[in-house]
Structure formats: structure tokens, C-alpha cells
Amino acid sequence: VRPGVADAASVAAAKSLLDRSEPNILGLVANGVNVRYEPDSYFYYTSPREQVADRAERGDRIRSLLTK
């Protein structure tokens, strides 16, 4: 459900279909979330510098595995 995009009737219909089908829900996908308004989210606490460092470290680990 994307806030400001999905209308209430469509959401209610989708929920009704899910309730009737009794699926095993594993998780959810949150599209269109503005992290500025989500202070409790994981992304709020990470800085771009930390993300770049994490990617570099991951790349180093992958390269070391491939060169063995």
C-alpha cells in the first residue's frame, strides 16, 4: 500500500481477498517510504559514508573469496 496513491476501497478489497485466501505471509515490502519521516527506521541511522564503507568491505570480501 503506497500512502497517497492507493485508495481506501482498493486497499479494503485487497485485504478482504487476503483474509479469505488465508495465506502464510512471510513479510512485506514498503515502497515509496520517505526515510525523513521514519525516525525509527534502520535507514535513518545510517549515513551515506557508512553505506559506502559497507559496500567497499563487502566488495573486498567477495574479491578475497573469488581469488582463493
Q: What is the pLDDT of residue 39?
A: 62
Q: Which residue, chain included where needed, has cell 482498493?
A: 10
C-alpha cell at 53: 564503507
- Please state the domain extents for the chain: 8-66
C-alpha cell at 68: 582463493
Distance CA 56, CA 49 (A): 11
* 29-62 confidence digits (pLDDT tens): 666 766 666 666 665 555 555 566 666 777 778 8
Rounded to two decimals, the pTM is 0.40
